[in-house]
Amino acid sequence: MKRRTLDLMFSLGGVAIAILLTVAGLVLSANANFANTYVADQLTQQNITFKTLDTLTPEEREQPGLVEYAGQKMTTGKQAEVYANEFIGLHLKNTAGGKTYADLGVPQAQLRTQVAEAAKNNDPNLAALQQQLADVTAQRETVFKGETLRGLLLTTYGFSEFGVKAGQAALVAYLAALVLALLSIAGFIHAFTTPRTVAFAPVEGAPNRERIDA
């Protein structure tokens, strides 16, 4: 095979792969832009703003994210993660001692049973039991709302991370396409500067046997 032919084959193959990588990069970039725009739009509609630095409690000041984004409006997935974990998560722990919505269901059910029995038996502790039930119910409702919002914000953060990864993959695809394009150009230059008669890895002829015997 001629060296020029081989150079042209590899160069054309490089161009084809570079085109495919460019198309893949464009698709990934479009997905990344969609994810970023969608997340920003959804979070903006929630109209959530971080507490200003001067209004943070001592416990909140220990959370680096709350200090970093103090006073800012939430518009990014990273901000959503910080708000979900460092603000909502912090206050959920303080609300019910770290108990979840499911955990609080057990004492709530027990107190309901006790209240029913106390009312039936005219127990003097009825008022106290009713107050305990009201407190647990309020805690459970608060935890439910907090967990729901926290889950939604973390889902938004996860979606934004897909956009980040897509953007990174697009950058890799563009760089690979650029490298292949440059190599292909070099291959074309080498092909057209190489004489047509030059072969690739030519096989040298066998030595003249008569001359060796002599």
Rounded to two decimals, the pTM is 0.72
Share of the chain above pLDDT 90, in %: 62
Q: What are residue 207's phi and psi, to 5 degrees?
A: -60, 150
- Across 14-18, 63-67, 204-208, least confident range: 204-208
Local confidence band at 199 (pLDDT 50, 70, 90 cut-offs): low
Find out whether 190 and 69 touch, Cβ atoms under 8 Å.
no
195 has pLDDT over 80:
no
The one-letter amino acid at 13: G
Local confidence band at 41 (pLDDT 50, 70, 90 cut-offs): very high
pLDDT of amino acid 214: 46
Regarding predicted confidence, which is higher, 207 or 97? 97
What is the distance between the alpha carbons of residues 72 and 82, in angstroms, rounded to a whole number? 12
